[in-house]
Amino acid sequence: MASDIDPAAADRLLTTTRAVRRRLDLERPVDRSLLLECIGVAQQAPTAGNGQTWSFVVVTDARKRARIAELYRAAATTLFEAARARARETGDEQTAKAYDGALHLAGVLDRVPVHVLPCIRGRIPDGSWSNAAAAGMYGSILPAAWSFMLAARARGLGTAWTSIHLLKEREVAEVLGIPEGVTQTALIPVAHYTGEGFSPAARPPAETVTHWDGWSG
């Protein structure tokens, strides 16, 4: 039976959903209906044991966004500046440019109209969970978060996956009233994007990262 999905359209969505840090429209609001559509798409993602224990905290309040941005910068600035310096020392300008963008985003995060925090109910006790249990927990929210970002891209919204705020997770939880038994997994800034569309990034051939029937090379 032939697929009912246009592979070219699907591939274009998957390969052009980029981290948007500089081209976010900081002035144009995002309709709540668009965000709910994206979350509805995200809810179709798989979860371990069909648990469906996800939640999405959507932050539009300006004061809360300002406080989150303050915490984000406290966690990110020094680390990002050091990583950028290391990249430039080794001549890795592509990575240095990425950290330039990350620092730019940190500087304007309070002005990004929407912050979305994908969360999942449950916590990993320090050092006491197996890799399988941790993979099941994070595997029950990260696919949904990526589906949210794909759905946003299809609706003309730019996003970026960030997680550095987790160094201040407890403080962010206090700002948003997130209970202790809930784990934040990312902070996704969301806005309409400016300029034209996006192109696929340069990546090595698939053959260079593929291992057939076992690990080799």
| pLDDT single digits (tens) 146-177 | 999 999 999 999 999 999 999 999 999 999 99
Confidence check: pLDDT of 125 > 90? no
The Cα 52–Cα 216 span in angstroms is 37
- pTM higher than the cut 0.75: yes
CA separation for the pair 24, 198 (Å, rounded): 13
What CATH code is assigned to 22-63+113-194?
Answer: 3.40.109.10
Q: How confident is residue 123, by pLDDT bands cut at 50, 70 and 90?
A: confident
Res. 130 pLDDT band, cuts 50 70 90: confident
Question: Measuring CA to CA, how many Å separate 197 from each of 125, 158, 176?
Answer: 42, 10, 33
Average pLDDT, the chain: 94
Residues 51-104: pLDDT tens digits?
899 999 999 999 999 999 999 999 999 999 999 999 999 999 999 999 999 999
DSSP calls for 106-124: HHHGGGSSEEEEEEEE---
List of residues 6+ apart from 160 with CB closer than 8 A: 19, 20, 21, 105, 188, 189
Report helix, strand or coil for 150.
helix
- Which helix (H) or strand (E) is 86 found in, with range? helix 62-89
Separation between Cα atoms, residue 103 and residue 107, nearest integer Å:
6
Q: Which residues fall within 8 angstroms of residue 56, CB to CB, at 6 or more apart?
A: 39, 42, 116, 117, 118, 119, 148
Where do the structural domains in the chain lie, given as residue ranges? 22-63+113-194
In single-letter form, the type of residue at position 90 comes to T
Return the pLDDT at 131.
85
Distance (Å, rounded) from C-alpha 88 to C-alpha 198? 25
pLDDT at 126 over 70: no
Task: Give me 144's structure tokens.
Answer: 């949904």
Q: Collapsing DSSP states into helix, strand and coil, what is residue 34?
A: helix
